[in-house]
A and B are shown apart, each in its own frame.
Chain A
């Protein structure tokens, strides 16, 4: 039985007021449940516009965009779409509404009009998933950059979404904060949450199950990470992460089995270290 797509976009286009060129044009994309899609592209290639369209923040001016089977251009469906598709932005300071950690996580469920017990349960789960349980009563202004970004993620997770869109959400994190954030995403993905990750960092692409490259508002390439590394990474001018170089060397020497991901932990596991 064929799975219905989480996102189905066909011929979608959007132009900002006063702009001479379309932000996105004739975009076709279909994402199925449980996928981890890395959305790549230069600045101004239309990645963020596409993310906002998937979250029903921007209705398509041309073509169609369906999220969880709901038309994102229908204003009456926007709330249902946003419950199922959460969006985490680049700067956590721009999305934290409340001064206390647990109050901020509760902001989304409060908007849904849920009873207090249900909100508390959701907040508890989201804080546990993001490792912020111990900081629930702390002031959001006192958190580090990495903790703030995890708080933004917790706020999105409290909506209990089926898909998560991350718009360069790791760009302001240090390596440690990024690693912890990515571990959290891996955990969510194994639980079946679809992830669309907009990023410029190639070491994050290694976690994805699919790579989509955007160029001048259009999907320029769409394929598997393996074929991306082999064929398109250099062609589109992206760097090759060190983990991938190491994997290639180990594969050539027959030290690791096929299917090993170019992720440090997987490499260590394959080498039995």
Chain B
């Protein structure tokens, strides 16, 4: 039984691609701009630009599209839950009935769009994390948040916390797997029984995992202190962030993509309707 499956959301994959080489500030800002595409999408066809953008990002970052697709696995439960809520509780024209629950055509569209929206958000976030080292990500976030330091917001401490949290994701997965294997060797069963039984089987993992996490945090704090880390103190960088013309070009492409997708959303259904009527030509 394996928790991480060799790839988890937030795990950086080193590389030399175009996207890898971009300034983290550019990538973080681009992510927030690109999020406008799935948020603006209201009908299934509106998601085509978002999927196209994700495909272009995966090609430009040399990360397989299927790998990005897999990054959505951890939120499948959330997606299923949201889809169910929208499917059964959206008022409108009834198309089917499941016992006391009504399924409406509006509900089907909304559930589909909401699921796709969440999946696109997760994939876009994964594309950022896979191509940006936690240190670079924290550096970029720190610079973007730097105006908040004026109001005494602990920008550098937050950035360091993000770095460490991201660095320890694979370690915590390994730790959980080790504890699970130790429990399995002592007769624990995580794979049979219903949902409640399985959930209960995970409880004995949580106590040792929490203890390990706190022990690790204590050791790491000591190790960081011994390497002269002082919270809030001015630090320099091995690779200082430099905004280049390729970052400007990438940002321009992102803005153009968002504008194109909004135009697409506005005209695609009119175009589709015209095609269906055969009156386009």
Contact = CB atoms under 8 A, between A and B. Distances in A.
Interface stretch (A18-26, A39-47, A93-101, A213-221): A93-101
Contacts of A156: 227
A110 B166 contact: no
Bin chain B's interface residue count.
20 to 34
Given A93-B171, A106-B238, A139 B12 contact: yes
A95 B11 CA distance: 19
Given A82-B226, A98-B134, A99-B133, A89 B236 contact: no
A159 B133 contact: no
A140 B259 CA distance: 40
B240 interface: yes
A107 B167 CA distance: 13
10 closest pairs, A vs B, by CB?
A: A95-B223, A94-B219, A106-B238, A108-B227, A111-B228, A141-B170, A103-B135, A87-B226, A98-B135, A119-B238
A159 B238 CA distance: 14
Contacts, number: 105
Contacts of A86: 226-227
Contacts of B229: 107, 111
A236 B163 CA distance: 45
A119 B135 CA distance: 15
B220 interface: yes
B235 to A, nearest CB: 5
B239 interface: yes
A34 to B, nearest CB: 22
A102 B238 contact: yes
Nearest to A90: B219
Contacts of A57: 222, 225-226
A116 B227 contact: no
Contact of A98 (B133, B222, B240): B133
A251 interface: no
Interface string B37-80: 00000000000000000000000000000000000000000000
Given A89-B219, A106-B238, A107-B227, A99 B233 contact: no
Interface of A: 52, 55, 57, 79, 82-83, 86-87, 89, 91, 93-100, 102-103, 106-116, 119-120, 123, 137-141, 155-156, 159
A99 B223 CA distance: 16
Interface string B202-218: 00000000000000100
Contacts of B193: none
A244 to B, nearest CB: 33
A110 B237 contact: yes
B245 interface: no
A156 B227 CA distance: 7
Interface in B158-179: 163-164, 166-167, 170-171
Contacts of B187: none
Interface string B130-144: 000111000000000
A159 B227 CA distance: 8
A69 B13 CA distance: 45
A159 B226 CA distance: 10
B244 interface: no
Contacts of A109: 236, 238
